[in-house]
Amino acid sequence: MLNFCVGPVMSSEEVLKVGGEQVPYFRTPEFSKVMLENEKMVREFAKADEDSRVVFLTGSGTAAMEAAVINTLCEEDKAIVVNGGSFGDRFEKLLKIHKIPHDAIRLEAGHPLTAEDLAPFEGKGYTAFLVNVDETSTGVLYDMEMISDFTKRNGIFLIADAVSAFLTDPFEMKKWNVGVMLTGSQKALACAPGVSLLVLSKEAQERIERIDCGCMYLNLKDALKNGERGQTPFTPAVGTLLQIHARLKSIEAKGGVDAELEHADQMAKYFRSKLAGFPFEIFSQSPANGVTSLRMTNGQSAYDVFTILKDEYGIWVCPNGGELRDKVFRVGHMGDLHEKDYDILMNALNDLTKRGFWKEG
């Protein structure tokens, strides 16, 4: 299988090996040590402050999104949420379900957030800002420098969903004054699904202390308390956490987060340099390194491209759902992917040309 989906993604041999082992009991000093090392490496790779904390939840990325909303926001907040696709929409739904007062900035699919979009929200007493750094559904990378300037200027608490941006595009938790950063195990971390994590600034920790989240499983007060000794309140996805440890260690050994970012950047550039002559074009007007979204230009169904590559070539590109199902498909740059893998994909796409698969526009 050759997988260019945006999660789960291709794991390295060493991560796969950990996945094939027996899962150990976890209330031990050995496992605590693994967890404390995980915390330290994530904090470093997110370029976070020394006094920030990392908690690991058992649940996919959405669990961390919901935990961020219920533990760090309350009814006295007034939030801005960027909704430029299905993950922005998920944040908006969470704010609604949990009755956090909010206004949404709804963007056309594939479009970035601009200074003009932010201007009407200046000096209006907003207290929180939620954004998906890379809106993975369309591969749009938002301008975090601009967002961070805005939130700093307005004294706004910033929640950044970096599920597909962490380890693919630069992330500067401290410099950007981010309150909460969150990600999941099956995207650029390239492990099995099941774990999500949150990096919590001092301000986030203070909010968590003050706010009653009204939930037992996603209670971050408990998670922080247990985390002090490298433990979790309940049985975590131990196997996935051990994979994460192997993966983080390997990033560290290979030159740290910057080398990892450089690789994602190179893979995205390599793939994007080969797209001439096909009936699709890059859809995102501000492409993230994690994924390239491709819009069909000949009216042919994007979903059919996904299907034929899967069924006849054993290659998985990533289809889109909803309105974009027939218009857009995606090719990921997360996980254990190299130039030779993109060459295999290009060979398959060229073979489709030879076979007369592409329709005239």
Enumerate binding residues for ligand PLP (CB under 6 A): 7, 60-62, 65, 87, 132, 136, 161, 163-164, 184, 187
Closest approach, Cβ 80 to ligand PLP, in A, equals 17
Angle between helix axes 202-210 and 220-227 (nearest 10 degrees) is: 120
Residue whose C-beta lies closest to ligand PLP: 61
Do 75 and 100 contact (CB within 8 A), yes or no? yes
By beta-carbon proximity to ligand PLP, the closer residue of 60 and 232 is 60
Closest approach, Cβ 88 to ligand PLP, in A, equals 8
By beta-carbon proximity to ligand PLP, the closer residue of 285 and 297 is 285
Provide CB contacts within 8 A for 128, sequence distance 6+: 72, 73, 77, 78, 79, 80, 100, 156, 157, 158, 159
H runs (alpha helix) in the chain: 13-19, 29-45, 61-72, 86-97, 115-118, 144-153, 202-210, 220-227, 238-253, 256-272, 302-313, 339-354
By beta-carbon proximity to ligand PLP, the closer residue of 64 and 349 is 64
By beta-carbon proximity to ligand PLP, the closer residue of 164 and 286 is 164
Closest approach, Cβ 197 to ligand PLP, in A, equals 12
By beta-carbon proximity to ligand PLP, the closer residue of 5 and 349 is 5
Region of 256 please: left (phi>0), alpha (psi -120 to 50) or beta. left
For residue 217, give Cα distances in angstroms to 59, 73, 169, 226, 349: 10, 17, 31, 13, 45
Closest approach, Cβ 115 to ligand PLP, in A, equals 22
By beta-carbon proximity to ligand PLP, the closer residue of 88 and 279 is 88
Closest approach, Cβ 97 to ligand PLP, in A, equals 15
Give the 3-state secondary structure of residue 319: strand
Please tell me the distance from the alpha carbon of residue 80 to that of residue 92, in angstroms, as a whole number: 9
Closest approach, Cβ 3 to ligand PLP, in A, equals 15
Angle between helix axes 238-253 and 29-45 (nearest 10 degrees) is: 50
Closest approach, Cβ 278 to ligand PLP, in A, equals 25
Q: How far apart are the first and last CA of the chain?
A: 31
Side-chain-side CA neighbours of 259 within 13 Å: the count stands at: 8
By beta-carbon proximity to ligand PLP, the closer residue of 187 and 279 is 187
Token pair 């379900």 is found at 97
